[in-house]
Amino acid sequence: MSIDLLVHGGDVLTVDDAGTVVRDGAVAVHDGEILAVGPAADLRARYTAYEEIDAHGCLVLPGLVNAHTHLAMTLLRGRADDVTLQGFLERVLKWEAELLSPKNVAAAVRLAVAESVRAGVTSALDMYWFHEAAEQVARQAGWRLHTGPTFMDVPQPPDGMAYEDRLEWARRDLAARSRRPGGRPVLFAHSAYTLFPGQLTEVFALAREFGALVHIHAAENATEVATVEVRHGKRPVELLDSLGLLGPDVLLAHAVDLTGPEIAALARTGTSVAHCPVSNLKLGCGIAPVARLLGAGVTVGLGTDGAVSSNSLDVLGAVRQAALVHKAGGDPTAVGAEQAVRMATIEGARALGLGEHLGSLEAGKRADLIVLDLDAPHLRPAHDPWSTLAYAAHSADVRDTVVDGRVLMRDRALTTLDERAVIDDLAALI
């Protein structure tokens, strides 16, 4: 049988439920879909591929999923360091009102996509202004972007659109979207401190009318929780629960400051969490109770947040931080290597409601995968792939990146973006 792509010869970490590792394995891809995963000898005998990737001496694994980010914040990288969350917001909101436009967002997202592809990140949930410009960039690059309209009732929104007009605009946006494997419509409600309860209810109702995922910041630090409590009489997660807004179609960003009953509410409603350990540490927000969330059965994915609060879109770096920071309480098993890698792959996909399409290398799923080069002193010996990924590997070790069966990086060279031009274009804006 003729197929589009065969990745063969490396150890294939499938990240399926059993944690299967196929030594000297292969992945067969056609029309953007994984046809088969198995021993390289078997698949090479069954398929003739138009394109091949020789992965000998490498680890093949699912592409990384960035479950919470603001891609165009690459425009402001390094401009709001060593401040609290509230100090960060004060600066960034002002700059966004002054600097953001479709053209600037496009240039900043193009850089973010290049950075992400290099780091083995094959898809991202991106909450930001001018999402149409971001989508166009991602489409041109062949990269998987999950985005949509953002609601944030602030005095000077960068797009100049009033909240009332935004509802109808979002309805038109959702109505125009076609369902494609590996994607779903998304609405972004920024937070309970930038939207009133009535507005939150309207946004969530609109999302549910179209079967969209709702993504919202919640309980990022103690000051945010206190602010919402003073304004609305309830903590952020309490408020969302009291309004009937939590559910399996909801993904919370951060969820650092949680009570026991709030964790129970997330588990009861099937609400997911995007854990951003690097951003949380850098802004002094604290450490999310991930071990307790996992113990309660809450789905937890990994995010980088924007490149202002984390300075990087390196999901593999977030894997390492997630596997380490929760051990600080004295329990080295709090979040293990395998769990941290799963949070960046299959659990991130499940948090987006896309676990049937993304996050593991299994027949029938979309062909989002990466090849990580193990031929380096810091990666030898490679006794255990989960350990190698969580504690030893760096994003620079990613050699090849494939999204929907299309090779976006081969031998560390981007194939759909002119990297020099991307950097120069953003430099010209700065």
How many C-beta atoms surround the C-beta of residue 211 within 10 A? Answer: 12
Strand order in the sheet with 369-373: 21-22, 11-13, 58-62, 369-373, 398-403, 406-410, 413-414
> How far is Cα 62 from Cα 57, in angstroms, rounded to an integer?
17
Report helix, strand or coil for 285.
coil
Q: What is the DSSP letter of 78?
A: T
Pull the structure tokens for residue 25. 């394995």
Q: What is the DSSP string of 23-35?
A: TTEEEEEETTEEE
Domains of the chain in sequence order? 2-62+360-414 (2.30.40.10), 64-351 (3.20.20.140)
Tokens 């929104």, residue located: 157
Pull the structure tokens for residue 371. 């090849």
> How far is Cα 368 from Cα 403, in angstroms, rounded to an integer?
4
Pull the structure tokens for residue 267. 């588990």
HSE, side-chain direction, 13 A CA sphere, residue 142? 17
Report whether 283 contacts 84 (CB < 8 A).
yes
**pLDDT tens by residue, the chain, 430 residues:** 999 999 999 999 999 999 999 999 999 999 999 999 999 999 999 999 999 999 999 999 999 999 999 999 999 999 889 999 898 888 888 888 889 999 999 999 999 999 999 999 999 999 999 999 999 999 999 999 999 999 998 888 999 999 989 999 999 999 998 788 899 999 999 999 999 999 999 999 999 999 999 999 999 999 999 999 999 999 999 999 999 999 999 999 999 999 999 999 999 999 999 999 999 999 999 999 999 999 999 999 999 999 999 999 999 999 999 999 999 999 999 999 999 999 999 999 999 999 999 999 999 999 999 999 999 999 999 999 999 999 999 999 999 999 999 999 999 999 999 999 999 999 998 8
Cα separations in angstroms, 342 against 13, 134, 204, 315, 346: 11, 27, 28, 12, 5
Report whether 408 contacts 399 (CB < 8 A).
no
Pull the structure tokens for residue 375. 């031929």
Question: Is 0.75 surpassed by the pTM of this model?
Answer: yes
Q: Could you give the dihedral angle defined by the CA atoms of residues 2, 52, 418 and 374, in that order, rounded to the nearest 10 degrees?
A: 150
Tokens 């071990």, residue located: 291
